[in-house]
Amino acid sequence: MVPYVLLYFPQGVKELKFYTEVYNACKIGTPGDKFIIRYYLENADNKTRINGFNSVLVQQADTVNPILGGFNIEDLGTGNYNLCIDVLDKNNTLKTSRKFYFLRHNPHVEATIHNLATIDVASTFVARMNNKDSLMDDIRGLWPRANISERDFIESDGFKKTDITLLKQFFYNFWSGRNPADPEGEWKQYEYLLLAVNKRYGTPTLKGYQTDRGRIYLKHGPPNHMDKEALNPAYYPYEIWEYYKLEDGEVDKKFVFYMPNSATNEYVLLHSDANNEVHERRWQIILNKRNGTPYDLDINSVDDPFGENAINEFNNPR
């Protein structure tokens, strides 16, 4: 076997294989008992399982149990995924699990929405959503929670021309994929956040969900801690949000927003230490640039102006 050391699987890679080991499975129950290894692929954005990519192994518990498995991924579309491996005892009780992230790029496979036309929405909550403009706006508001395929649909050139039936099918598929038991309830919870975000973070030119603060709020929920400063003349107005734990398992992640132009009233994401977000090591200098700080590329930070505490708020939030 030749190890594949990348997290990126381009179109030319047609198989995903893995090797792992389970230690001390014999301590789960009585030595010699059977135990179960379940592995599958899930969407890393919304944690839904991918149909057709799951497998189960049964082994006799030992001190070390080697596991070799994999999937043919020729028909796996572009997206962010997790390879999930669960260990269960003979009673089907989960004992431990691990997830391994990877990115798949496979434009040969159509986006998952190509099957939308087969979805019957006549007896669902979306059947009542007959105002196309409102429905389109609701769908645009899903962008912070959408996966790559769903974002492609929302951002496509033909989105405005999509007939209302397909829009309803997309909307229902979006929420039923996240909560099959109660898609309407899941939408209502998100709608409450969406209305609040539009009211709190909207600007004269942007809906709240289109702003950076709105996007982060809708994606991760309200921050666990927030520091903000709008009155110090040395710094641009800013906010520092802290999340104790994100959905992907990241802990103690922070987001720095600032308002470089008071005319727009829009706070822009300047820096974050979270994955897949803007990372600006000189964020504190940019905040202080309002004070005329020299933009020396050899300097990563400056002392906080009198009465200001941005660096300490970022490193040691109260």
Q: What is the pLDDT of residues 167-176, one digit of tens each?
A: 999 999 899 8
Among the listed residues 250, 248, 249, 240, the one whose alpha carbon sits nearest the alpha carbon of residue 283: 240
User: Are 93 and 117 found together in one domain?
Assistant: no
Domain range for 246: 223-315
What's the whole-model pTM score? 0.67
User: Are 67 and 136 found together in one domain?
Assistant: no
User: Are 249 and 283 found together in one domain?
Assistant: yes
In a domain, 130, yes or no: yes
Q: What is the pLDDT of residues 46-76, one digit of tens each?
A: 777 887 899 999 999 999 999 999 999 988 8
- Number of domains the chain is built from: 3
In a domain, 214, yes or no: no
Query: What local confidence, expressed as pLDDT, does residue 144 receive?
Result: 92
User: Are 84 and 122 found together in one domain?
Assistant: no
User: Are 88 and 146 found together in one domain?
Assistant: no
Q: What is the pLDDT of residues 87-115, one digit of tens each?
A: 998 888 999 999 999 999 887 665 455 56
Cβ atoms of 270 and 241 within 8 Å: the answer is no
- In this prediction, residues 1-28 reach a mean pLDDT of 89
User: Are 190 and 239 found together in one domain?
Assistant: no
User: Are 290 and 242 found together in one domain?
Assistant: yes
Report the CATH number at residue 33: 2.60.40.10
User: Are 12 and 99 found together in one domain?
Assistant: yes
User: Are 193 and 143 found together in one domain?
Assistant: yes
